[in-house]
Amino acid sequence: CNFISAMPTNLYGVGDNYHPQNSHVLPALIRKFHFAKENGNSEVELWGTGTPKREFLYVDDLASACLFMMQNYDGTEFLNVGVGEDISISELAETIKEIVGFEGAIKWNTEMPDGTPRKLLDVSKLAAMGWKPNIGLNEGIQLAYADYLKRKDQLNG
């Protein structure tokens, strides 16, 4: 029996979970900014300071990495899968705000927790083998937002 263990970073993309109580940060921000835009809100409140950093990988890039590993890796150690770069939550929020087209303000509620200051995987093993992601964060968020718009009625239903 031959198997490979892949440890992905934070994933996002088409088919994501946008539930208001249990979605991850990127789809939650898409939903919040879209809701605020649709309702004419002047601001969106986000928790914490916006300073924590996270790494995000588009789901199709995870699939690509898994296929690459099946074809090119026969080791026993797990491989981290990510982009090797992180972004602050405040930068992520500004990017999503722009893509969604929300023109209001972001209000940081610093009474609420930030969470872990930084989550960035060491992806050097996979990169040294020649794999790299194809979908940048801006393009991936645009694809995810387009998917959200197609599915929002059933998601809110």
pLDDT in tens, 9-28: 999 999 999 998 999 999 99
Quote the CA–CA distance of 128 and 92 in Å, as a whole number: 28
The CB density around residue 33, as the number of other CB atoms within 10 Å, is 24
Residue 115, domain member (yes or no): yes
Residues 6+ apart with CB under 8 A from 117: 51, 52, 53
33 has pLDDT over 70: yes
CATH assignment at residue 139: 3.90.25.10
Q: What is the mean pLDDT of the chain?
A: 96
- What span, in angstroms and rounded, lies between the C-alpha atoms of 128 and 109? 41
pLDDT band at 57 (very low <50, low <70, confident <90, very high): very high
* Interval 82-103: pLDDT, tens: 999 999 999 999 999 999 999 9
Burial track 54-72 (b if 16+ CB lie within 10 A, e otherwise): bbbbbbebbebbbebbeee
**Confidence check: pLDDT of 125 > 90:** yes
**How many Å apart are CA 27 and CA 124, to the nearest integer?**
27
pLDDT surpasses 70 at 111: yes
Q: Which domain holds residue 33?
A: 21-151
Name the band, by pLDDT with cuts 50, 70 and 90, for residue 3. Answer: confident
Task: Judge contact between 41 and 104, C-beta under 8 A.
Answer: yes
pLDDT at 1 over 80: no
Domain count for the chain, please give it.
1
